[in-house]
A and B are shown apart, each in its own frame.
Chain A
């Protein structure tokens, strides 16, 4: 197993702490099957890997630090986005540490920005999209506190308790079926992925993963999905799973 990035500097009272879901993504991306897939999908021009909702940055920093092992080449560009300013700041620090700790295998980390899902990216720009979404079913989506100041990095030295509760709710609360945010991400895939692009999406059982996969495959005959890895069954259900999404143009030509 490749070393996990150090996130000991991350303020967990307002940024999601790496958990079982985060580690399942690390296992997926460093598995033999996915390494083989990624080596073959991106043999030349440097791929752009974007993680949506980076939290602590543990996942994108893992990809950055181990680019050479995962992609077979250190010519890999990485970037992150999160709605939470502290998550963005934490990710920049996590990526820098992970790079120092892995001097022989890191790629090129471009930076992190604040934003809603893939909105900041140009159409067709993303080669590998990674998303560990807020996936827990909740009666409603988190509401932003009236006096929220924590999205202005300069003024956000001391977010209020309400701000912190909101930021943590953002990291897990998924609304109906836990899918309200993930649904929007899925809809953006045809627009945002490059022709050779793929996505790794984490889902839990309540998200109805089979339905999600069927919907993606309904985008067109070239769309493919595969359960790349799961956390094992509980009461007959895969509790958490990572779905790989990609297109196979050769098969439909």
Chain B
């Protein structure tokens, strides 16, 4: 699963949805794989307005990627900043988590990732 997914996922437990701590899920023991994908600035520019920037900064630093600026760039700034474009492209689109866990900051539940597929099915006592 691509790192970008983490910006759209949250804890599957209903009671956690309303807590700001259930997003983003925290990546733990993550094994990363890289695909080489041709840089497409339009893709990054069109994804930018959909991102929760603060959550992305958290994910990025948890996975050991270079620190992102505190404020999201404007599309105009991004177009002019090739380093940031490349960093975002690499982080969001080229990197996949193949093994590891996603952990909810509210309830502590751990969702396992195997072969790049995260398992959000809950044991019956949590449904």
Contact = CB atoms under 8 A, between A and B. Distances in A.
Asked if chains A and B come from one complex, the reply is yes
Interface of A: 44-46, 48, 73-75, 77, 79, 81, 83, 85, 88-89, 92, 108, 110-116, 119-123, 125, 151-154, 191
B10 interface: yes
Contact of B117 (A46, A83, A119, A153): A153
Contacts of B50: 45-46, 48, 77
B122 interface: yes
Contacts of A153: 114-115, 117, 119
A199 B50 CA distance: 19
Contacts of A79: 5, 8
Nearest to A47: B50
B36 interface: no
Minimum-distance CB pairs A-B, first 10: A111-B1, A115-B120, A119-B12, A120-B120, A75-B46, A46-B46, A122-B10, A113-B118, A45-B49, A153-B114
Contact of A121 (B1, B8, B46, B93): B8
A116 B12 contact: yes
A114 B2 contact: no
A114 B113 CA distance: 10
B46 A122 contact: no
B120 A75 contact: no
B46 A44 contact: yes
A154 B2 CA distance: 20
Interface string B30-62: 000000000000110011111000000000000
B120 A114 contact: yes
19 contacts: A44-B49, A45-B46, A46-B47, A46-B50, A48-B8, A73-B46, A81-B120, A108-B2, A111-B2, A112-B117, A114-B119, A116-B12, A119-B12, A120-B9, A123-B17, A125-B8, A152-B114, A153-B114, A154-B114
Given A46-B50, A108-B93, A75 B121 contact: no
A72 to B, nearest CB: 12
Contacts of B127: 116
Nearest to A79: B5
B117 A122 contact: no
B4 interface: yes
A46 B43 contact: yes
A85 B117 CA distance: 8
Q: Which of A44, A73, A119 has the most CB of B within 10 A?
A: A119
Contacts of B117: 85, 88-89, 92, 111-114, 153
Given A46-B50, A120-B10, A122-B10, A110 B1 contact: yes
B121 A114 contact: yes
A42 to B, nearest CB: 10
A132 to B, nearest CB: 20
B116 interface: yes
A83 B5 contact: no
Contact of A115 (B12, B23, B115): B12
A119 B120 contact: yes
A154 to B, nearest CB: 6
Given A46-B50, A75-B46, A154-B114, A116 B4 contact: no
Given A73-B46, A81-B120, A83-B121, 10 more contacts: A44-B46, A48-B50, A75-B46, A75-B47, A77-B50, A114-B118, A115-B121, A120-B120, A121-B8, A153-B119
A12 B29 CA distance: 34
A122 B9 contact: yes
